Structure 1
Amino acid sequence: MPQARVGRWLVAALMTLLALATIYPLLFTANVAMKTRREYILDRFSLADSLHWDNVTTAWSSAGMDRYFVNSLIVVTSAVVLLLVLGSMAGFALSRVRFRGSATLSLVFLAALFIPFQVIMVPLARVMDSSGLVDTYPGLILAYVAQFLPFTIFLMTSYYRTVPAEIIDAARIDGNTLYGVYRRIMLPIGRPALLSVGILDALFCWNDVIIALLMMPSPDHRTLMVGVTSLRGQYSANIPTFAAGVLIAAVPVLLTYLFLQRQIVDGVTAGSMKG
């Protein structure tokens, strides 16, 4: 009993240290964003004397973060919708429809998960440039879909395989086509996994810098994360304004984790917990 109690205290202490190490950078950034330039130069680690929202206003309007935010919102929303539609349909086909080469195709999507983007970065850029899709919303959306579709398909395939075959057989006996089974049966059953993978795909696309920087070289088309990296050079002498830009980019991700963490965990583990 004492050993078990010591083990629990040790785990709790390690988790507390990990939580503090994760939370501290965000708190430090928020504190710097509320300082004036003079306060930061005098003591960067002290608490802000008062809340100076001018840095946030400057980063949002003068530095163009509002435009970058809208760009990210358009691209991420469109990419996630396409990923969910294609991923759920492919997951249903690979898990419940038997056709020649289905097993091989599943292995191909699984293998694609282990290919780093840096390997396909140059060929992708050449294909997109020759197609006239560089520096366009459709080009970046398609790049995100190509990058994160294997993950979406893998997760949806794993989830749909847990659905009892009797449900599908009963739906076919009632006269449903394969599309009818997918739309009336599999889509409603797969809502937890769709919500989970949609949140994860949105976070992946939102936090991306490399693909967006490659596909959107124009300043007017930058996404939010690329815009934050550009602020480092633009406001290198005004760190509080740069910190305010980082804070603006971090708030949507933080809110997503705070309010949807249960859905993320439940959806990811659903395939292994059901059945």
Structure 2
Amino acid sequence: MRELRVTKWVAAVPMMAIALATIYPLIFTLNVALKTRHEYILDRFSLTESLRWDNLGAAWTSGGISRYFINSLIVVGFAVALLLLFGSMAGFALSHLRFRGSRTLFLACLAALFIPFQVIMVPLARTMADTGLMDTYPGLILAYVAQFLPFTIYLMASYYNGIPAEIVDAARIDGNGPFGVYRRIMVPLGAPALLSVGILDALFCWNDVLIALLMMPSAQHRTLMIGVTSLRGQYSSDIPTFSAGVLIAAVPVLAVYLFFQRQIAEAVTAGSMKG
């Protein structure tokens, strides 16, 4: 019994240290966001005494966070919808519709996961500029779809591989074509995977900086993460307002992690558990 307790503590102590290292920056940012500029200059590590909630309002309005927030909602919403549509259809085709080259296509999607964005950054920018999609919502949405579609296809194909082929065969006997099987069978049965993968795709797109910085050079179309980064120069002498902007940007991500922990864990482990 004593050895078991010692083993638990050996595992618990590092986990607690990791948890504190993760939580402390959030608490520090909240504390700074509620300070006055004078308080921050005097002692940045002391607890705030003024509780300046109006710093959040200043970052939302004067800092332009509201516009950046809407931009991110538009881009992420459409990108995730397209990723789930194309990813689920391709995952179904690669897992249950056997055709010549299907294995090669699946391996190509798997190989695309290992290509860093920096490798395709310059060709992508040139293509978007030539087609007039640079600095537009459709351009950034298509860039996100191109970047994260292999990941979505891989996870959906892995999940659909776990659905018995007999179910698909029975649906075909009932007179359903490939699209009928996808719409009536695969979409309902794949709803848990779609939710999990959709959450991950939304987090990837929401937290992205590099692609958005490349595709959206103008201030009007900046996404939230790029907008928060720009606040550092705009409010270099007003760190509490800058911290308020960082806090606003972090709240949606924290909310998603808190409410969808199980779905995120299932999506991360889907590739190793299915197929």
Shared fold, TM over 0.5: yes
TM-superposed deviation, 1:8: 1.2
Find the counterpart in structure 1 of residue 168 from structure 2: 168
Contact 1:162/1:271 (<8 A) preserved: no
Q: Name stretches of at least 5 consecutive residues in structure 2 with no aligned partner.
A: none
Quick one: distance in 1 between partners of 2:61 and 2:99? Answer: 54
Quick one: distance in 2 between partners of 1:266 and 1:188? Answer: 17
Quick one: distance in 2 between partners of 1:139 and 1:219? Answer: 16
1:4 aligns with 2:4: yes
Quick one: distance in 1 between partners of 2:61 and 2:193? Answer: 37
Quick one: distance in 2 between partners of 1:239 and 1:268? Answer: 36
How far does the alpha carbon of each residue in 1:228-251 deviate from its partner, in whole angstroms, 9 at most, with x for none? 110001111110010000001000
Find the counterpart in structure 2 of residue 78 from structure 1: 78
TM-superposed deviation, 1:169: 1.1
Contact 2:155/2:270 (<8 A) preserved: no
Q: Name stretches of at least 5 consecutive residues in structure 1 with no aligned partner.
A: none
Quick one: distance in 2 between partners of 1:198 and 1:76? Answer: 10
Amino acid at match of 2:218: S
TM-superposed deviation, 1:137: 0.3
Contact 2:30/2:247 (<8 A) preserved: yes
Task: For 1:115-130, list aligned pairs within 5 A.
Answer: 115-130=115-130
Secondary structure in 2 matching 1:50: coil
User: How many residues are matched?
Assistant: 275
Quick one: distance in 2 between partners of 1:274 and 1:112? Answer: 20
Quick one: distance in 2 between partners of 1:256 and 1:164? Answer: 32
Task: For 1:61-72, list aligned pairs within 5 A.
Answer: 61-72=61-72
Quick one: distance in 1 between partners of 2:151 and 2:272? Answer: 16
1:57 aligns with 2:61: no
CA-based RMSD of the aligned residues comes to 1.2
How far does the alpha carbon of each residue in 1:213-271 deviate from its partner, in whole angstroms, 9 at most, with x for none? 10000100000000011000111111001000000100000000001111211344356
1:40 aligns with 2:75: no
Amino acid at match of 1:122: V
1:192 aligns with 2:192: yes
How far does the alpha carbon of each residue in 1:80-105 deviate from its partner, in whole angstroms, 9 at most, with x for none? 00000000000000001111111111
1:144 aligns with 2:138: no
Aligned residues with identical type, % of pairs:
75
Find the counterpart in structure 1 of residue 217 from structure 2: 217
Quick one: distance in 2 between partners of 1:156 and 1:245? Answer: 35
Contact 2:33/2:241 (<8 A) preserved: yes
Q: After alignment, is 101-110 or 5-14 more displaced?
A: 5-14
Quick one: distance in 1 between partners of 2:247 and 2:76? Answer: 19
Q: TM-score, normalised by structure 1?
A: 0.97
Amino acid at match of 2:85: V
TM-superposed deviation, 1:4: 3.0
Contact 1:133/1:139 (<8 A) preserved: yes
Q: Where do 4+ consecutive residues of structure 1 move more than 2 Å? A: 1-5, 266-275
Find the counterpart in structure 2 of residue 90 from structure 1: 90
